[in-house]
Amino acid sequence: MFLAQIWMMALASPMAQTPTTSAEAVVQRQVDAYNAFDIEAFLAAHSETAEVRFDAGGQVLKGRAALRSFYEPGFRRRDTTVRIGHRTILGNTIVDEEHVTVRGKEVCCAVLIFKVTDGKIGSVEVFLSPLLLQAFRS
C-alpha cells in the first residue's frame, strides 16, 4: 500500500515529467557505477554520512565505510546488475523501479527511493522483492 501511494503521488506530480535533473544525474552515476562494479565511483555518489535502509525498518547501513563493507563483496563477484524499469523524479527525490539480474538471470525487482542533498545521495530506502532476496541467498 505504501509503495502504491508513492507511485500515485509521483505520477500526479508535474515534476515527474521534468527533464534530467542534477539529482537524477547523481543517482544515474551511482547506477552506472553499480553495473560497472566500480566501488569507488559508487561510493563517490554517496555523502560521507549516507544511510541505506532496507525494507522499512530492516538493516541500516550508515556511512561510506558501511556501504563499502556491504557492497564490495558483490562487486568482486561481478554477478548482479540492475536495469531501471521506471524512474520518477520529485525534485531531489528519485524513485527507481529496478529490474535485477543475478548470475545472468533477471530475477525480479526492487524499489529504491533516493534523497539527494548537495549533489550526493544522502539516503536510500530499499524495498526488495521476496524472490530477489531468495536469489541473493542461493
Percent of the chain with pLDDT over 90: 67
Q: What is the total count of domains within the chain?
A: 1
| C-alpha dist (Å) from residue 63 to 53, 100, 110 | 12, 24, 22
∠ Cα 111 56 102 (to 5°) = 40
Q: Tell me: the pLDDT tens digits for 62-113?
A: 999 999 999 999 999 999 999 999 999 999 999 999 999 988 988 888 999 9
Task: Specify the pTM.
Answer: 0.81
Domain that holds residue 17: 2-137
Q: Is 101 exposed, middle or buried, given 0-12, 13-18 or 19+ CB atoms closer than 10 A?
A: middle
pLDDT tens track for 49-68: 999 999 866 889 999 999 99
CATH of the domain at 52: 3.10.450.50
Alpha carbon distance 93, 115 (integer Å): 5
For the chain, the residue count is 138
Residues 71 and 45 sit within 8 Å (Cβ to Cβ):
no
SS3 for 24-37, per residue?
A: HHHHHHHHHHHHCC
More confident site: 9 or 58 = 58
| Residue 102, SS3 per DSSP | strand
Cα separation, 100 vs 107, in Å, equals 6
Return the amino acid letter for 16. Answer: A
Lookup: cell for 117: 542533498
